[in-house]
């Protein structure tokens, strides 16, 4: 199963992404325990693509590809921005960063997904979940 979505860089379009996760859940039978992890990770990645990657410019597009091939669900999110270096994102768990808001989304995704891969340019992320079907 492969689903592709293109959205303008508007936060209101997160609803489209959420609806896509709901559709996929019913199509392939994603387990209840996996649903939340997938939804939160995907929404964080798309939010980052809109705000940080595309600088909330509605003319720029966020591309989302959701590919399920048993037992893996791979979700790729790509923006039209300059990219970033994942290692440069501050660790939100160390004391001096506790009050900072930057870095939380990347941290959350890394804890919820089984694997995360960033493109060399840093404008695309692939989030991988194993064994998502009950």
Residue 126 pLDDT level (bands cut at 50, 70, 90)? very high
Looking at residue 99, what is its pLDDT? Answer: 76
Report the predicted TM-score, pTM, of the whole model to 2 decimal places. 0.92
For residues 1-24, give the mean pLDDT: 96
Sign of CA dihedral 96, 126, 132, 39: positive
> Which CATH number covers residue 61?
3.30.565.10
CB 9 within 8 Å of CB 58: yes
Phi and psi, residue 64, nearest 5°? -125, 130
The answer to whether the beta carbons of residues 16 and 6 sit under 8 Å apart is no
Q: What are the residues facing 7 on neighbouring strands? A: 62
User: How far apart are alpha carbons 45 and 5 in whole angstroms?
Assistant: 14
Q: Residue 76: its pLDDT value, please?
A: 98
Number of domains within the chain:
1
104 pLDDT more than 90: no
pLDDT score of 65 more than 80: yes
pLDDT confidence tier of residue 29, bands split at 50, 70 and 90: very high
The sign of the torsion formed by the CA atoms of 9, 21, 73, 132 equals positive
Range of the domain at 37: 2-130
For the residues of 31-43, what is the DSSP string, one character each? -HHHHHHHHHHHH
């Amino acid at each position: 199963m492969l689903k592709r979505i293109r959205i303008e860089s508007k936060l209101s379009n997160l609803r489209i992404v959420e609806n896509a996760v709901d559709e996929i859940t019913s199509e392939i039978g994603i387990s209840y325990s996996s649903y939340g992890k997938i939804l939160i990770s995907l929404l964080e990645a798309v939010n980052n693509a809109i705000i940080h990657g595309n600088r909330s410019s509605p003319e720029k597009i966020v591309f989302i590809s959701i590919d399920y091939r048993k037992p893996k669900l791979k979700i790729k999110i790509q923006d039209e921005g300059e990219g970033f270096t994942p290692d440069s994102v501050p660790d939100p768990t160390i004391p001096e960063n506790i009050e900072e808001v930057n870095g939380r989304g990347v941290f959350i995704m890394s804890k919820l997904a089984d694997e995360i891969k960033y493109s060399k340019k840093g404008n695309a992320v692939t989030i991988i979940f194993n064994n998502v079907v009950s």
